[in-house]
Each structure stands twice: as C-alpha cells, then as structure tokens.
Amino acid sequence: MTAQAHEENGTGSDYAATHLNGHYSEAEAEQPMLDKVQPPCYAQIIGWGYEVPDRVVTNHDLEQVVDTQDEWIRTRTGIQERRVVAVSEETTASLGTQAARKALEVADLHPARVDLVICATSSPEHFFPATASIIQDNLGLINAGAFDLSAACSGFVYALSVARAQILAGDAEYVLVVGSETLSRWVDWTDRTTCVLFGDGAGAVLLAASDVPGGVTASVLGSDGSGAELLTIPAGGSAAPASLETVSSGSHYIQMDGRAVFRFATRIMADATRQVLDKAGVPVSEVDLVVPHQANKRIIQHSVLRQLKIPEDKVYVNVHKYGNTSTASIPIALCEAIEEGKVAPGDNLVFVGFGAGLTWGACAVKWSVPIEQPESTWWKNTQRQATYQAAAARSMWKRAIRRIYSQVEPRAMARRPVRRPEEEQPTP
Ligand code: UT7
C-alpha cells in the first residue's frame, strides 16, 4: 500500500501523510495523542489478518466420532470442514496474536503506536487475565490498554463499534480489534447437535483515526437476555461454579436449542442489516458486500438473501471451510473476501452477526483504503522480527525481575523492625 496508490484512489494526501507513511516510527509514538487526533474524525480499517489452525476436520472425520452423516451436515448447515486446534500451544491468545500481527503488518504500523486492543471471545485463555492482555504482551503493544469483550458470536461487531467510538471520541488513534476462538475446547465431542457446527480461528482488523470520510460509519447493537438459556455453557461461572457434579454432568460444554436460535437468527440478521443501512444512509440496493456471521448457510440464505433480496454474489460465505468460528467468523470472512478481490475502495460493506445472549449487531463500512499490501522488503521484515523479539525479551525480563522481587521482598519484610503497641498511630 503506497501513498501514491492511495492518492490514485482519491482518499487524499492528508490521509497518506497521516496513515500511510512512517507508521513504523517509534519516535512518533511518543507524541501526545491529542496533538494527533483532530475532528472531524473517521474510523478507517487500515489493517486486517486472520489465522486458522492447520488441522482440518472434515464431516467424514466426524462420522467416525458421532452418529452423523456428511450429507446431513452439508444440507442443514453448508459446512464441509472446520479447523481445530491440535496442540496445547495453540490457544485463543496464540491465534489472536498471529491474526493481529498480520493486521499490523498490512497497515505497516509499529506496535508501540497502538492505543487499545479489544479481544472479542467466548473461549478466552482464562477467566482473567484478559486474552487481550496476553496479545498485548505478545506483540509488544507497550502503549495499549487491553480488554476482552463478551457478546458471543456478535462479539466482533460489538468490539468494532466500541473501537469506532473510542476513535471518534478522540480517546484512541489506533485500535486493534481481534475476534479469536477455540470453541473446540468447549464442545462436547459426543453431542452431534453441536460438535459438527463449531471451528477454531481468529481474525483481526486495525482501526485508525483518519480525516478521510468513510470507514465504520454506523453501528447497531442489540440484546434479548430472555433467550439466555437457548445457547449457553451452563457451568463454570458464578451461577454454577466448577464442581465434580458440574464436570460429570457435562455442564461445562456448549448447550444449544438449535431450532430456536435458527428462528431468531433469520429474523434478526435481516432487521439489523436494514437498521444499520438506515443509520448510514445507504439504500440496500447500494450494498456491495455483506459479510455475515458464518453460522449456517441456510440462515444467511433465509435472512440476507431472501428477506433483503441482496443477490448471492454480494454476500460472502466461507462457512463450508471453517464452520462456525463465532467472533472470528466475520473478520476471517472479511480477510478472505479481500484476498479474493471482492472489496475495493468506495464499496459499501455490512458486517452483521448474532449469537448467545441473545445478542446481535451490525456495522456499516464505507471502504476507503487501497487493498494492495505494502511491499515487504528484507529490511522491513528484519525490523519487524527485531521488534517482536524485543517484545518477547522485554516480557521475559519483566517476569524475571518480578521473580527476583518475590524472593527478596519477603526477606526484607521479615527484617523490618516490629513496632511496639504504644508506637502505633491511633486509627481515626
Ligand atoms: O453462532 C450461533 C450459533 N448457533 C447457530 O447458529 C445454530 C442455529 N441453528 C441451526 O443452525 C440449526 O438449527 C441446526 C444446524 C443446529 C440444526 O438444524 P435443523 O434443521 O434445525 O435440525 P433439527 O435440530 O430440527 O434436527 C432435525 C433432526 C433431528 O432428528 P429428529 O428429532 O427429527 O429425529 C436431530 O436429532 O436431525 C437430527 N440431528 C442430526 N442428524 C445427523 C441433529 N444433529 C444431527 C447431526 N447429524 N449432526
């Protein structure tokens, strides 16, 4: 992505000067942010990336595990295969880190310039710390805040909306939005009604403050908690803490009323798309690409295609390759749509999702940046490699220092003089 290419696409030299040149500058990261962000401000997607595990599990593989048939899965869901984490090192944070790293590389942005990382996930590394904090440390995002966002499969759209708001408020200049899942670790592999549906993966986008009109132009978020029990992991939280009983009854696995979720999804996907387009002032006929949550091809057909009458070639579908990767499904689909040349500057895009909660959300995007990747020179790659190695070394050093303190401090405490009771200060 070059400044010249950007100019040719009519997005202006200011944008090029602000966002396309000198991203990889640590010196600039030192500037106070308020000097850099001036209204009017737009939230542009300037980087994107995804990561999926290598291990492919086909419908035929699942026939060996549960009482199911390739034909049933294909005709009821459109899924042919999914990716599943194979080794313990592959986790929600590791997939999210790789996806986010690719997004930074597309934007050619130095990690020190990121102000915030939001990780949308329903399969976090731990209850706490946030998976986003682990990604922040892995990438050396030394100036970034980090938090996880829980809105199930709608999480990516929610996170994008929050990131946009942070930018428009002037609180952040660069925000990484990651959707990452390893739901295969929460699936009961003896339950054919759920295990055939889900897959693992991660996708990320980098949002930047820009003076070029466009980017994420509108969002719609919704929730109906009366449907909370329709799609849930019943145990492991405050309502049912982990116990021998919860483990032996399988209450830590995903449980779902598929038909009820299906009915809700087909209605809400169409409604949310209409609402967000209204907000953005874009007629349905001017939509160039819908990137819907990839849960079931039939849901996409019943909602976006039939109810909104958006033609098939304007709706991106890759559920056959990855199954339902929850919060990761929209950013993975976006990245593949970009790779296939289905996104171009000036396009009107809609991201629309639904999920447990029940939740739903949609974002309207006016794509405004060129798709061409920056030329990756030998020097640039070495620079990046060094940056990530420095991040790993920094993290190890901090851990080592903490370990030393934890050894030294108790002894120092033990040597402190003990005050006699008469020396104690009276409590107010
Ligand atoms: O991100 C949000 C996550 N969730 C969703 O998006 C799920 C939304 N729901 C769905 O996608 C669909 O409801 C499913 C794919 C889950 C199920 O499709 P369906 O057409 O609604 O099937 P069904 O639940 O009505 O089940 C039909 C039959 C049942 O047998 P009987 O009772 O008619 O004899 C099921 O037991 O299919 C049976 N069945 C299966 N058969 C073979 C259920 N799962 C399987 C399976 N293989 N894996």
If you write DSSP's letter for every residue of 284-306 in order, what string do you get?
A: GGG--EEEE--S-HHHHIIIIII
20-48 average pLDDT score? 64
Nearest residue (by CA) to ligand 1, atom 14, is: 258
Q: Can you tell me whether residue 361 is helix, strand or coil?
A: strand
Decide: 74 in ligand 1 pocket, CB within 6 A.
Answer: no
Decide: 80 in ligand 1 pocket, CB within 6 A.
Answer: no
23 or 101: which carries more pLDDT confidence? 101
345-369 average pLDDT score? 97
Same domain assignment for residues 23 and 132 = no
Number of Cα atoms under 13 Å in the Cβ half of residue 286: 12
Nearest residue (by CA) to ligand 1, atom 47, is: 68
Q: Is residue 424 part of a domain?
A: no
Residues with Cβ within 8 Å of 253's Cβ and at least 6 positions away in sequence, in order, are: 186, 187, 188, 191, 194, 233
Same domain assignment for residues 172 and 227 = yes
Centre of ligand 1 from the C-alpha of residue 298, in Å: 12
Give the count of beta carbons closer than 10 Å to the beta carbon of residue 218.
20
Q: Is residue 114 part of a domain?
A: yes
Q: Is residue 384 part of a domain?
A: no
Percent of the chain with pLDDT over 70: 86
Same domain assignment for residues 252 and 324 = yes
Radius of gyration, CA atoms only, the chain: 23
- Of 330, 346, 366, the position where a domain reaches its end is 366
Note down the domain range covering 27.
3-37
User: Is 195 tagged catalytic?
Assistant: no
Same domain assignment for residues 150 and 236 = yes
Cβ atoms of 177 and 204 closer than 8 Å: yes
Cβ atoms of 154 and 362 closer than 8 Å: no
CA–CA gap between residue 208 and residue 16 (Å, rounded): 12
Domain count, the chain: 2
Q: Is residue 382 part of a domain?
A: no
Cβ atoms of 80 and 317 closer than 8 Å: no
Residue with tokens 């939280």: 237
> How do residues 77-93 score in pLDDT, each as one tens digit?
999 999 999 998 999 99
Residue 13 reports pLDDT greater than 50: no
User: Is 318 tagged catalytic?
Assistant: no
What single letter denotes the amino acid at residue 141?
Answer: L
> How do residues 270-323 score in pLDDT, each as one tens digit?
999 999 999 999 999 999 999 999 999 999 999 888 899 999 999 999 999 999
Give the count of beta carbons closer than 10 Å to the beta carbon of residue 269.
26
Same domain assignment for residues 20 and 132 = no
- Of 349, 366, 383, the position where a domain reaches its end is 366
Catalytic residue among 110, 293, 335, 363: 293
Q: Is residue 318 part of a domain?
A: yes
- Of 346, 366, 386, the position where a domain reaches its end is 366
Residue 358 reports pLDDT greater than 80: yes
Same domain assignment for residues 146 and 236 = yes
Same domain assignment for residues 130 and 24 = no
Same domain assignment for residues 18 and 155 = no
Centre of ligand 1 from the C-alpha of residue 19, in Å: 47
Tokens for 46? 């300037």
CA–CA gap between residue 13 and residue 77 (Å, rounded): 46
Strand pairing category for 215-223 and 359-366: antiparallel
Centre of ligand 1 from the C-alpha of residue 194, in Å: 8
pLDDT at residue 427, rounded to an integer: 54
Question: 117-146: string of b/e by CB count within 10 Å (b at 16+)?
Answer: bbbbbbbbbeeeebbbbbbbbbbbbbbbbb
Bridge partners of 116? 145, 175
Q: What is the DSSP letter of 240?
A: S
CA–CA gap between residue 104 and residue 135 (Å, rounded): 13
Catalytic residue among 6, 23, 59, 153: 153
Same domain assignment for residues 55 and 166 = yes
Q: Is residue 387 part of a domain?
A: no
Nearest residue (by CA) to ligand 1, atom 38, is: 193
- Which of 187, 193, 326 should be mutated for ligand 1, with most atoms under 8 A from CB? 193
Count of residues in the chain:
428
Q: Is residue 377 part of a domain?
A: no
Cβ atoms of 152 and 326 closer than 8 Å: yes
Residue 115: which CATH number? 3.40.47.10
Same domain assignment for residues 75 and 183 = yes
Same domain assignment for residues 73 and 188 = yes
36-62 average pLDDT score? 90
User: pLDDT category, 266, cuts 50, 70, 90?
Assistant: very high
Nearest of 43, 23, 1, 19 to residue 367 by alpha carbon: 43
Q: Is residue 60 part of a domain?
A: yes
pLDDT at residue 419, rounded to an integer: 64
Phi and psi angles of residue 124, each rounded to the nearest 5 degrees, phi first? -65, 165
Same domain assignment for residues 194 and 306 = yes
Residue 22 reports pLDDT greater than 50: no
Bridge partners of 47? 206
- Which of 76, 261, 332 should be mutated for ligand 1, with most atoms under 8 A from CB? 76
- Which of 262, 301, 329, 352 should be mutated for ligand 1, with most atoms under 8 A from CB? 262
User: pLDDT category, 21, cuts 50, 70, 90?
Assistant: very low
User: Is 153 tagged catalytic?
Assistant: yes
CA–CA gap between residue 161 and residue 412 (Å, rounded): 49
Centre of ligand 1 from the C-alpha of residue 91, in Å: 28
Decide: 328 in ligand 1 pocket, CB within 6 A.
Answer: no
pLDDT mean across residues, the chain? 90
pLDDT at residue 304, rounded to an integer: 84
